[in-house]
Amino acid sequence: MTTCPICGQRDIGKIGADQYYCGDCCVEFMVRNQDLKIFNVEVDGTLTLYDNIMPGTVNLEVQKG
């Protein structure tokens, strides 16, 4: 199950093979293997890299041990 990496919302739209959209955050994100890229969707429809992630918000790190 893919959830929004920002708000955790499960009600996200799939817009491509590895691309999803969260209407709550108005972001698109791309998941490929362990690589996650998040983009803001600007009002004119352009995508800008989402660099506003608080440390610890995105839980992608694999716990060791």
38: contact with Zn ion by CB under 5 A: no
**Which of 20, 21, 22, 29 is close enough to bind Zn ion by CB under 5 A?**
22
Sign of the alpha-carbon torsion through 53, 56, 59, 64: positive
Residues 43 and 32: their CA atoms lie apart, in Å, by 26
CB closer to Zn ion, 1 vs 65:
1
Q: Is residue 7 part of the contact set for Zn ion (CB under 5 A)?
A: yes
CB 10 within 8 A of CB 22: no
Give me the residues that bind Zn ion (CB under 5 A), please.
4, 6-7, 9, 22, 24-25
